[in-house]
Amino acid sequence: MKQAYILKAVRTPGCKANRGKFANVRPDHLATVALKGLLDKTGIQPESIEDVILGCSFPEAEQGMNVGRMVALNAGLPYQVPGQTVNRFCSSGLQSVAMAAERIMAGFADCIVAGGVESMTCVPMGGNKYAANPDLVSHWPEAYASMGITAENVAERYNISREDQDAFGLQSNERALAAIEQGKFRDEIIPVEVERTRVVDNELVTGTEIVDIDDGPRKTSPEKMAKLKSPFKAGGSVTAGNSSQMTDGAALTLVVSEACLKKVKQDPLARFVAFDVKGCPPEVMGIGPSVAIPGVLDKAGLKQEDIDLYELNEAFASQALYCLRELGLSQEQVNLNGGAIALGHPLGCTGAKLTTTLLHEMQRRKDRFGIVSMCIGGGMGAAGIFERL
């Protein structure tokens, strides 16, 4: 079997939905900017790209109409380059990378753009027309449990305390703020120019602003976090301070074969090693990584001690802490630059976003193996392994 490599990985900043700096920016525009940035960084010839695979959790409205194809055209790729949109909810971005890699490993392609996009400003959770299947609701209503309730279920069932959740959320913000101050995201982020209207001397003035960093991380304290109430359950422990932020953003990778590497004469960021996805009970969907990570390790023929670094999506502190404890992972291996509680979880983009951050941090630390993993709405977990060469 052939090998697949990640030549480059980039992302836009992640900005808070509805009130962040991308609130008036279309998601297909964000992905277009990311794709143009990826082409600029690699110098790859657009006509050599064989597909554009874009993950999206709610592919409708401004991110509908097969957004993968629309972004390819909007970025100026030749019309001969096809595009597709993939939906596996929170792992859509990682699923897209895996699909691209698997196609290259099978010998059916040499150069594929893969990633994800989501605007939680443009398309709300559940989409614009929520329509649960009545038959499924009648015999398995938990299949449609809200994400917040599943996080409360995990906290209650597995004894994850409010104090531990808040401490984890505080740590996520502190790590993210430190990473931004140290410029750690500079190489992975493609800046986005946005229009900004403000009032000057009682007049509206329209100009532009370059957004080049995430706007989610916040300075907070244990005392402030302890005052927050759960919006999901009376007396619950899951709050805005220990949950992922709703976010807008895009992230893309260039997945290539060894033949392509020789042609472009560039060194890759990493080799794609393996991918796995597993199901779990929908009502505790957050435990997904605890079954997906052992699964992907088994597929790769690796052991947990072989893995140097993890990017584990912080959908909620309760589920992240459960997975860490169940797997015996140290917090010194996981989300060293903060996670989704601080930096946001732009659903279909997240898997590619975490892959981008993981690969750049592995380069800095000279780590060999890294894992990206996340829980998935509906009761699933996904995980991917990458090797720095």
CB 309 within 8 Å of CB 337: no
Which residue in the list 15, 90, 280, 349 is annotated as catalytic? 90
Tell me which residue of 1, 3, 113, 5 sits closest to 50, measured CA to CA: 113
Place of tokens 């794709």: 35
What are the residues whose beta carbons fall under 8 Å from the beta carbon of 150, sequence distance 6 or more? 282, 283, 284, 285, 286, 319
375 an active-site residue?
yes
How far, in Å, CA of 259 to CA of 268, rounded? 12
Question: How would you class 303 by CB atoms within 10 Å of its CB: exposed for 0-12, middle for 13-18, buried for 19 or more?
Answer: exposed
Measure CA of the first residue to CA of the last residue in the chain; give whole Å: 18
Q: Tell me the CA distances in angstroms from 272 to 129, 158, 198, 251, 371, one per residue in order.
A: 37, 33, 46, 17, 10
Q: Could you confirm whether 90 is annotated as catalytic?
A: yes
Q: Cα torsion for 26, 28, 33, 35, to the nearest 10°?
A: 170
State yes or no: is 56 an active-site residue: no
- Helix pair 317-327, 288-300: axis angle to 10 deg: 40
Bridge pairing between strands 270-279 and 380-387: antiparallel
SS3 109: coil
Cα 157 from Cα 154, distance rounded (Å): 5
- Tally the C-alpha atoms within 13 A of residue 370's C-alpha that lie toward its C-beta: 30
Angle between helices 67-74 and 27-42 (to 10 degrees): 60
Tokens 């895996």 belong to: 98
- CA distances in angstroms from 52 to 18, 96, 222, listed in the order given: 28, 9, 44
Catalytic entry in 29, 122, 280, 345 = 345
Catalytic residues: 90, 345, 375
